[in-house]
Amino acid sequence: MKWQSGTSSDNVEDRRGMRLGPGGGGFGRLGIGGIIVIGILSLVFKQNFFSLLGDGGAPSTPAGPVVASPAEDSLKDFITFVLNDAQQAWARTLPAQSSDRYHDAHLVLFRDAVQSGCGGASSATGPFYCPADEKVYIDLGFYEELRDKFGAPGDFAQAYVLAHEIGHHVQHILGMSERVSGNAMSVRLELQADCYAGIWARSARDEQRLEPGDVEEGLAAAASVGDDRIQQMSGRAVNPESWTHGSAAQRSQWFRRGYDTGRLDDCDTFR
């Protein structure tokens, strides 16, 4: 992907120098299915049900100097560029295709564990979006796991992950999250976020930011984190009833649909 280094953003919070105590808070024990259910209840009833989880006895220490390798600093630079590019694209796309206007999400970078508006979480949770504070949380170490464990290398694979989480922010603005109840509906929500990531990828193409192989990297990344593939990697039987994000084929299919059409209406996974 073509990008410019030295990008900054007021929407990035670097908490890599902050530490939580043991346990990482109650949020990390929920799993992604529980996170989605409690998030939707919070939206429907307009109360922060995550606050009922408490902090899990995990006090935080103030952020100190961030010690990072040159590779990690470069990754932060790249992710900041992608964040800015995706949010600028949605600021154009959303009002053009809906009655809603886009407002920025924030990106929080952390290590090991973090306290969010949805409670405490560990890096084992993976990247996530919290609707309570409208922030995306990413431990940059996840990208090594994406490359080495899931077999999805490349900078556009990294960009896809952030674009998917920004897709959840778009859903939050549109009120789509309120339609989720149970695993089957949470799968539809996740596939729609994949489709929205594809819409951004199309915008990046139109802005001539894509390089040969970028779309394939995005498709491979979407497939690599399909529920069926993760179950197979962990030695479990494939069980669609327990899925929360969709199969490898579904995730790449919806990302491709968003990229091919660039239209919100074509991302209606609930229809």
Q: What is the pLDDT of residues 11-25, one digit of tens each?
A: 999 999 887 654 444
Packing angle of the helix pair 155-174, 214-224 (nearest 10 deg): 70
Q: Are 257 and 264 in contact (CB under 8 A)?
A: no
Per-residue pLDDT at 221:
96
Find the mean pLDDT for residues 208-230.
95
Quote the mean pLDDT of the chain.
87
Per-residue pLDDT at 257:
98
DSSP letters, 144-172, are HHHHHTS---SHHHHHHHHHHHHHHHHHH
DSSP state letter for 99? S
pLDDT digits (tens, 9 = 90+) for 164-185: 999 999 999 999 877 676 677 8
* Residue recorded with tokens 């990344």: 221
pLDDT digits (tens, 9 = 90+) for 232-271: 998 999 998 889 899 999 999 999 999 999 999 999 998 8
Rg of the chain over Cα atoms, rounded to whole angstroms, equals 17
Per-residue pLDDT at 38:
53
- Please tell me the pTM assigned to this model: 0.84
pLDDT digits (tens, 9 = 90+) for 40-86: 555 544 444 444 444 444 445 555 677 888 999 999 999 999 999 99
* pLDDT confidence band for 163 (50 / 70 / 90): very high
Each domain of the chain, given as residue ranges in start order, spans 12-266
* Cβ neighbours of residue 92 closer than 8 Å, sequence gap 6 or more: 203
* Cβ neighbours of residue 77 closer than 8 Å, sequence gap 6 or more: 5, 6, 7
